[in-house]
DNA sequence: GTAATTGCAAATAATTTGCTGGGTG
DNA sequence: CACCCAGCAAATTATTTGCAATTAC
């Protein structure tokens, strides 16, 4: 656990905007002015593999990161791109999928799309 | 509807492997040897905007395309990357999401991850 | 002390775009 | 004959990687 990795984890955990690698890099620079973007990418990948953060890479040309690792879903505003956490449960049965396709299901991801309240006014 | 666009749509529709842009390009070249990759990308985007095909861009560094446009879910094998269509229904209520977060939900996407039968044997 | 990790810069991968010319209505 | 679209190649975007120097344990 280098100081770079620690700062990167702190930045992701303390933000609720599901930041991009670039945003994380800018924030980390405030603490460690010499940190490089390559280090940010390397550590984000390590932290993701360690299960400390989530990488969100759906429906976009770039990844966003989430410091909340417990299972939850997301809402994405199609207009402004904002991502919101949804702590809701649905009855999504892995068994039903396994029966239908004879596969071994480990996890699932669910994402909702639409317009957020501030964008909906336009 | 140029002949290039028509061939690209045919290629996507006639395949069930959720092909990448590159694979589509290779197939299209068999019909139109001088077609360019830029044209493939341009037409895939046009066809997606027309609602003729789906672009699948989850959990990967590149997009895949699906000629089946009716709502359905997908299973992704974590080992071999194969994508399978799942024609199953779940009770996923947009109203529940809207109540929880006061947003306007238009659509959702659901994807399952695990190992397919052929990969599960390793 | 040694192995892992950094900063830097160059490389890569996927996709997009500018330009010019050809084909179509 | 006006214009949309193709082909080509260069540009862009996000991310990854090679390397020499530094740091962590």
What would the pLDDT profile of A90-106 be if each residue is shown by its tens digit? 999 999 999 988 899 99
**Measured distance CA(B54)–CA(B71) in Å, rounded:** 10
pLDDT (tens digit per residue) in B25-41: 999 999 999 999 999 99
What is this structure's pTM? Answer: 0.90
pLDDT (tens digit per residue) in B82-120: 899 999 999 999 999 999 888 999 999 999 999 988 887
Query: What's the confidence (pLDDT) of residue B120?
Result: 75
C-alpha A54, offset from chain centre = 5
CA angle A29, A74, B85 (to 5 degrees): 120
A79: closest CA of chain B, how far (Å)? 12
Query: What's the confidence (pLDDT) of residue B80?
Result: 84
A118: how many CB neighbours lie within 10 A of its CB? 12
Query: In the CATH hierarchy, which fold is given to the domain comprising B3-66?
Result: Arc Repressor Mutant, subunit A (1.10.10)
Q: How many Å from the CA of B39 to C1' of D7? A: 8
Query: What's the confidence (pLDDT) of residue B43?
Result: 96
| Domain B73-120 CATH (choose: 3.40.50.300, 3.30.565.10, 3.30.360.10, 3.30.1490.190) | 3.30.1490.190
What SS3 string covers B34-73?
CCCHHHHHHHHHHHHHHCCCEEECCCCCCCEEECCCCCCE
Nucleic strand C contacts from chain A, 74-113, CB < 7 Å: none
pLDDT at A24 over 90: yes
Please give the sequence-ordered ranges of beta strands (E in DSSP) within A21-72, or none if there are none.
Answer: 54-56, 64-66
**Measured distance CA(A92)–CA(B68) in Å, rounded:** 22
Domain ranges of chain B: 3-66, 73-120
Fold matches, A3-66 and A73-120: no
């Amino acid at each position: 656990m280098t100081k770079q990795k620690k700062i990167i984890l702190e930045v992701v955990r303390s933000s609720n905007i599901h930041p991009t690698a670039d945003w994380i890099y800018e924030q980390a620079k405030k603490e460690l002015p010499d940190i490089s973007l390559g280090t940010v990418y390397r550590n984000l990948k390590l932290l993701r593999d360690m299960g400390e953060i989530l990488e969100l890479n759906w429906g976009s040309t770039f990844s966003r990161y989430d410091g909340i690792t417990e299972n939850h879903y997301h809402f994405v505003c199609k207009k402004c791109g904002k991502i919101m956490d949804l702590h809701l449960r649905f009855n999504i049965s892995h068994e039903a999928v396994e029966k239908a396709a004879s596969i071994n299901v480990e996890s699932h991801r669910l994402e909702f799309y639409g317009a957020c309240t501030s964008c909906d006014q336009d």
